[in-house]
Amino acid sequence: MTQVKLYDTTLRDGMQGQGMSLSAAEKVRVVQALDGLGVQLIEAGFVGSNPKDAELFELLRGVDLEQADVCAFGMTRRRGVAAEDDAAMRELAECFAPVCTLVGKTWGLHLEKVTRVSRTENLGMITDSVCFLVGRGKRVVYDAEHFFDAWREDYEYALECLRAAVAAGAENVTLCDTNGSSLPFQVGEATASVVAELGDRVEIGIHTHNDAECGVANSLEAVRAGARLVQGTMNGFGERTGNANLASILPALQLKMGFECVPPDRLRRLTETSHLVDELCNLQPDPDRPYVGRNAFAHKGGMHAAGVQADARTFEHIEPGLVGNSRDVLISELAGRGSVQSRAEAAGVDLDADAAKRAVERLKEREHRGYQYEAADASFELLLRREAGTYSPLFRLEGFRVITEKRANGKVETEATIKIWVDGQRFLRTAEGNGPVNALDKALRSAITELYPHLAEIDLVNYKVRILDTHHGTGAVTRVLLDSSDGSGETWGTIGVSENIIEASWEALVDSLEYAFQPREQKDRATREGTEVTAGH
């Protein structure tokens, strides 16, 4: 089977979308999930553009990936400066990433109106930049910005830009439909012409946007025309109307067009990977999303359901399990007994058949109330432990009270008082905080750590709030997701759901500490890390 490489730019181009933002630690989780899915090339960020991306590359240097290569993104050298004297180019060269992706101009209109660089100098910028990085041992992808507009207006110059990159040693030239202006037949035609010219000397890639709602189709047409690398983002994140959606491109290439992108068992991780990225971005996974949405294989009418019983092909375009989705839309893919049991095993929890059945019931009931465990693996493990009878409660709550006051001078103060029982002892503690959850956390921790000092090391690294039913504004149900980590670098996610944001936060907070408190053998922990690919790790 012919191989087509996937190149993910969720962490760079995807973050250009409105309101998108991820911390460096969250980005590492995305990289790990994409690696687990089998994505070969993962663009982590724009080197040298900001301290956050610098921190990310620093973190990534220490992460062991299964198979993916990290790519660092940058622009061709500045005008009138030698590549080795350009600070941004040097940062690229010094970055640990084995692959550097350079974007450069290809369209005369941009040279005239935007950068005011001559056509000749632009070619020099491409040559020098690629040469410099190849000379420093990098594999280079050249992103030909606005390629398709350029191709329509001045094919020869566009091709010259590509040739410059190839001659300088780029291993790939990627044709970018930067404005998203092109339709599938245009992309197919232009790509075929480039493949005919350069296909024997370099790998051709494709990078499209969704401005004409053809981002996916454009990528597929380019592959039909000979492109062998597809750039896109998970869930189509990106500025304006988004980038080409890798979550739809991957299954089409592999299941409908007969290309090989990732091993079939990794393809099954597609749905959970898509949802994880949504959750990390604090977005509700779109239920109508192709392949991975909850409604993607929903069957409404009785005739549909009966047809699917008789032969799934009657109403389903692919077998949902191939991408890790499922036919039954009302419960998530977790809520089958088999999957619950395999999850339990991965978490080192002994769950017999009865307990598994109870866990499934409990899970369904909680999902119905708004819980979602995709990014809350620690809460999910606690749920399993409760049913398995291996759950040890950390404390018993007698009550808490949180007071937030704002004075006429504008000063805001928050204090929390908790009354809890730990190991038969009663603790009454009050703490101040810069918000209600912070105050509750401090009060709870000041009591608990007297007996369990190691729980002091836990850091609350992320806190997300989502309102589930937006029809009732601030009176709706609130879902809180909390990510915690300990000194060792392990990170876990917990969830709380309530009409009251403070109650929901409290639940997630308590789960976080309880998870860390559960007795586990080190071995179990290791097995778990190795076999589980769900959210939260």
35-94 residues near a copy of itself, rule: CB under 8 A? none
Pick between residue 215 and residue 348 the one whose CB is nearest to a copy of itself.
215
- Count the alpha carbons within 13 Å of 386 in the hemisphere toward its beta carbon: 17
By CB under 8 A, the residues from 484 to 523 that bind a copy of itself are: 484, 498-503, 505-506, 509
Tell me the C-alpha distance between 71 and 405, whole Å: 49
Give CA separation, 384 vs 181, 336, 504, in Å.
Answer: 50, 13, 20
Q: Give the footprint of a copy of itself on residues 172-201 (CB under 8 A).
A: 179-181, 183-185
Nearer to a copy of itself, 227 or 388 (CB): 227
- Angle formed at CA 170 by CA 169 and CA 175, multiple of 5 degrees: 145
Tell which one of 64, 200, 265, 405 touches a copy of itself (CB under 8 A).
Answer: 405
CA dihedral 180→185→190→194, nearest 10 degrees, is 120
| 353 is a site residue for a copy of itself (CB under 8 A) | no
Minimum distance, C-beta of residue 379 to a copy of itself, in the bound complex (Å): 15
Please tell me whether residue 18 binds a copy of itself under the rule CB under 8 A: yes
432 contacts a copy of itself (rule: CB under 8 A): no
Q: How many residues does the chain have?
A: 537
Q: How far apart are CA 423 and CA 226, in angstroms?
A: 67
Q: For residues 451 and 449, give the distance between their C-alpha atoms in angstroms, rounded to a whole number.
A: 5
Backbone angles phi, psi at 226, to 5 degrees: 120, -5
462 binds a copy of itself (CB under 8 A): yes
Tokens 């990078």 belong to 207
Pick one of 120, 156, 258, 310: the residue that binds a copy of itself (CB under 8 A).
310
The 3-state secondary structure of 214-228 reads CHHHHHHHHHHCCCC
**Does 399 interact with a copy of itself (rule: CB under 8 A)?**
yes
Q: Which uninterrupted H or E stretch holds 433?
A: strand 425-433
Q: Which of 8, 279, 374, 387 binds a copy of itself (CB under 8 A)?
A: 374
Nearer of residues 167 and 465 to a copy of itself, judged by Cβ: 465
Count of residues of this chain found to bind a copy of itself when the rule CB under 8 A is applied: 116
Task: Enumerate residues 208-227 that contact a copy of itself by CB under 8 A.
Answer: 210-218, 220-221, 224
Measured CA to CA in angstroms, residue 72 lies from 30, 60, 140, 311 at distances of 15, 11, 10, 47
Minimum CB–partner distance for residue 19 and a copy of itself (Å): 7
How far is the C-alpha of 206 from the C-alpha of 351, rounded, in Å? Answer: 47
Out of 108, 169, 307, 336, the only residue in the binding site for a copy of itself (CB under 8 A) is 307
Does residue number 108 form part of the binding site for a copy of itself (CB under 8 A)? no
Pick 97 or 323: Cβ nearer a copy of itself: 323
Q: Looking at 232, 242, 324, 493, which residue binds a copy of itself (CB under 8 A)?
A: 242
